[in-house]
């Protein structure tokens, strides 16, 4: 089992992106997915950093892939998706409509925003050319076990969500723009004011979700710190870590130490909890309970 870093969900300044991937190249993660997942309007502000990041990551011995958007609706977004194929790197599909631009016989990866819930879907994706599949984070362990075994039998790497705010939904409307009384087309990129998403409470003041432009995230940070051994046993090939603005190299390092047996699960949790943007961890989906719940190692 090793570590994959997923695409950054958030809108960061280009120099922040440059520094982030420079630091990431010096960690021991095995592979990195980069590119714009959430909003195509953001891409022109930081896309010039992608070639440098790719070069640094490959030079450091890491596998690199580029992600599709999570919701492809406009002609220019379809054109952007078609252009991904020409980059020469594996494409991670996070919207199945992206497959229209992936030639038959071309290997691709599947991201966690594709609803791979059963063996039939997994089999179809494998037959279509998928070589690496990150399962949706809302699956319970029993389902993960079935799909991981099938992936292992088919020679396809199956990942699960390891650490980070969960991607729960993508909308056609922009929450950040609406919060600031702006139209989506004139949002003025206010999502950049919240580098880890904007936290949302219920009407009675209870912690609930986080929003990031058109994306809905969990407010807690999902972490499988207490389930690594059982995930190894069922055949999970990698854990996915999701970028955040602070402490991410520490997150990568302590996860690497845990996988190498140099940190126990309680020690890992003690180091991870202070890095969570909302200060809370969760593993409820994997444990088969309420998604925002934290098992504390009981699962």
Residues 30 and 246: their CA atoms lie apart, in Å, by: 20
CA distance 78 to 87: 15
Binding residues for [4Fe-4S] cluster: 39, 174, 187, 191
Cα 161 to chain centroid distance, Å, stands at 7
Q: How far is CA 291 from CA 288, 294, 295, 296, in A?
A: 8, 8, 10, 14
How many angstroms separate the CA atoms of 240 and 65, rounded?
A: 13
The three state secondary structure string of the chain is CEEEECCCCCCCCHHHHHHHHHHHCCCCCCEEEECCCCCCCCHHHCHHHHHHHHHHHHHCCCEEEEECCCCCCCHHHHHHHHHHHHHCCCEEECCHHHHHHCCCCCCEEECCCCCCCCHHHHHHHHHHCEEEEECCCCCCHHHHHHHHHHHHHHCCEEEEEEEEEEEEEECCCCHHHHHCCCCHHHCCCHHHHCCCCEEEECCCCCEEEEEECCEEEEEEEEECCCCHHHHHHHCCCEEEECCCCCCHHHHHHHHHHHHCCCCCHHHHHHHHHHHCCCCCEECHHHHCCCCCCCCCCCC
Residues marked as binding? 39, 174, 187, 191
């Amino acid at each position: 089992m090793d570590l994959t870093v997923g695409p950054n969900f958030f809108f960061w300044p280009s120099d922040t992106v440059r520094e982030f991937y420079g630091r990431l190249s010096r960690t021991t993660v095995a592979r990195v997915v980069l590119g714009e997942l959430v909003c195509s309007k953001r891409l022109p502000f930081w896309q010039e950093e992608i070639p440098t990041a790719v070069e640094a990551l490959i030079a450091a011995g890491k596998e690199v892939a580029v992600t599709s958007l999570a919701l492809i609706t406009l002609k220019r977004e379809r054109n952007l998706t078609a252009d991904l194929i020409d980059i020469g790197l594996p494409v991670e599909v996070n919207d199945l409509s992206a497959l229209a631009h992936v030639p038959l016989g071309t290997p691709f990866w599947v991201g966690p925003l594709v609803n791979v819930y059963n063996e039939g879907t997994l089999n179809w994706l494998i037959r279509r050319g998928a070589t690496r599949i990150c399962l949706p984070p809302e699956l319970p362990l029993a389902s993960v076990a079935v799909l991981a075994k099938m992936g292992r039998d088919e020679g396809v790497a199956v990942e699960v969500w390891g650490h980070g705010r969960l991607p729960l939904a993508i909308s056609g409307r922009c929450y950040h723009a609406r919060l600031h009384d702006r139209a989506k087309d004139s949002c003025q990129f206010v999502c950049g004011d919240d580098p880890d998403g904007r936290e949302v409470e219920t009407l009675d003041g209870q912690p609930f979700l986080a929003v990031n432009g058109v994306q809905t995230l969990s407010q807690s940070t999902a972490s499988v710190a207490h389930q690594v051994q059982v995930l190894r046993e069922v055949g999970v090939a990698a854990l996915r870590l999701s970028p955040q603005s602070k402490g991410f190299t520490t997150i990568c390092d302590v996860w690497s130490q845990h996988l190498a047996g140099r940190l126990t699960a309680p020690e890992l949790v003690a180091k991870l909890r202070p890095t969570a943007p909302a200060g809370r961890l969760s593993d409820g989906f994997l444990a088969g309970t309420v998604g925002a719940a934290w098992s504390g190692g009981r699962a």
